[in-house]
Structure 1
Amino acid sequence: MCTGKCSRFIGLVLIPMALTCIIANVLLIFPNADGQWTKHITTEVWLMGGIAGGGVFMLCPGLSAVRAGGKGCCGTGCCGNRCRMLRSVLCSVVGILGAFYCFMVSLFGLIDGPLCETANDKWEKPFVDLRKNESYLFHKEDWSKCLRPPNIVLWNIVLFSIMLGMSILEAVFCAFQIINGCIGVFCGDCRKEGKSKSKDNDEGL
């Protein structure tokens, strides 16, 4: 696969991943899909790891990679194509930083658990000091400590897990694009030469 096609593929994969992180983070702001609980959300949700790190920061390398590998890049000449590849490399570096931010926020969001109302009518994080050596993630019987919002523990686990998984994949694809982009900068896009010959042959006919 030539660098142009590979770049376009990576970009088209990164964009839906970024949108997935944004949607997951937005849903975390509205626990159980109900706006009345928005004032009772954790710091990890407000840090916007999915919206900023895994989302907006990831749209930059995604769109840049698509543009670098787009059909129109071959008509801009060697210099233009190499510049777009270089731009995609720089954007991918930013993307890795954003993915790392999303990963760390999601990780701590999973470790600490949600903010919820417990049996003593207090809003707290009941799982922070629940077990020193074991996580509440593996003890479903402890989830009942959270009374409101309904199903908040499962809501928190699923959405933060999505963001965590997406951030890992985003970092991997950004790393691939850095390698692919560097090859494109030094070696060019293999599609260009073939298309140029094809165009010349058509004009000759």
Structure 2
Amino acid sequence: MCCSVGFARSLGLALVPLSLCCIVANLLLLFPMGEVTYLQQGRLATFIWYFGGLGGGGLLMLIPAVVFITLGKCSCCWNESLMMCGSVLAAVVGLVGSAYCFVISGFALMQGPPCFTSFGWSNPFADQGGRYLLQPETWSRCLQPVHIVEWNVTLLCVLLGLAVLEFIICLLQLGNGLVNAVCRPCCYKQEYSLNA
């Protein structure tokens, strides 16, 4: 059988924990240092509200995960070519979701977190183009929330890494689905000639 359904299912199983980790990381960004106060006061970075991890890398990624895992299990409902088209479309959805997560996390990382400095509440790193990431000695400018820069940098880097892994997995399934869509007719011709 040309179609590697087992390969697609293993990719789907790999996507589930990645998407759940994206959701958790995005939720943690909403509660700096585990506190609700800054969420209630609206003191979070703008890009956090775009929900790159919750939406793109999380909930949206569950669509291809479910499709890949259930591939071939419902043969009564799907013929094999439709099944492969479904997996290719699901892979495209996954690529879009992971790309969205990556872009939003990247912009949030470049912008830096808003925090309370000696000049009041501001976003002291917004105009630096991400240079603050290479200057950890400047992070102490943020007095509250304590260690907010480390919190944001860590979680956003985790989201970036997870988004890259999700993108690679969906790209693998996209290739798998397209190759099998092309190879399947050849397999049928070979089977027909052997049976004849």
TM-score by length of 1: 0.82
CA shift for structure 1 position 68: 0.9
Aligned to 2:85: 86
Q: What letter corresponds to residue 28 of structure 1 in structure 2?
A: L
How far apart in 1 are the matches of 2:77 and 2:5?
A: 12
RMSD: 2.0
Q: Give the one of 142, 153, 156 matched to 1:146.
A: 142
Matches within 5 A, 1:48-127: 48-68=51-71, 72-73=73-74, 76=75, 80-120=79-119, 122-127=120-125
How far apart in 1 are the matches of 2:8 and 2:94?
A: 14
User: Alpha carbons of 1:88 and 1:145: their partners in 2 closer, same or farther (altered >3 Å)?
Assistant: same
Contact 1:116–1:123 (8 Å) recurs in 2: yes
How far apart in 2 are the matches of 1:79 and 1:21?
A: 31
Moved over 6 A (4+): none
CA shift for structure 1 position 54: 0.7
How far apart in 2 are the matches of 1:82 and 1:9?
A: 20
Aligned to 2:192: none
Q: Which runs of 5+ in 2 are unaligned?
A: 185-196
Q: What letter corresponds to residue 55 of structure 1 in structure 2?
A: G
Aligned to 1:26: 27
CA shift for structure 1 position 111: 0.8
How far apart in 1 are the matches of 2:124 and 2:98?
A: 28
CA shift for structure 1 position 90: 0.2
Q: Give the one of 42, 47, 50 matched to 1:47.
A: 50
Q: Which runs of 5+ in 1 are unaligned?
A: 189-205
Q: What letter corresponds to residue 126 of structure 2 in structure 1?
A: V
CA shift for structure 1 position 186: 4.3
Contact 1:82–1:184 (8 Å) recurs in 2: no
How far apart in 2 are the matches of 1:160 and 1:78?
A: 41
> How many residues matched?
181
SS at match of 2:126: coil
The yes-or-no answer on 1:165 pairing with 2:166 is: no
Aligned to 2:190: none
Contact 1:21–1:163 (8 Å) recurs in 2: yes
Contact 1:3–1:183 (8 Å) recurs in 2: no
SS at match of 2:60: helix
How far apart in 1 are the matches of 2:150 and 2:85?
A: 42
Contact 1:64–1:84 (8 Å) recurs in 2: no
CA shift for structure 1 position 88: 1.4
TM-score by length of 2: 0.85
Identity among equivalent positions (%) equals 40
Contact 1:96–1:170 (8 Å) recurs in 2: yes
Q: What letter corresponds to residue 165 of structure 1 in structure 2?
A: G
Q: What letter corresponds to residue 155 of structure 1 in structure 2?
A: W
Q: What letter corresponds to residue 10 of structure 1 in structure 2?
A: L
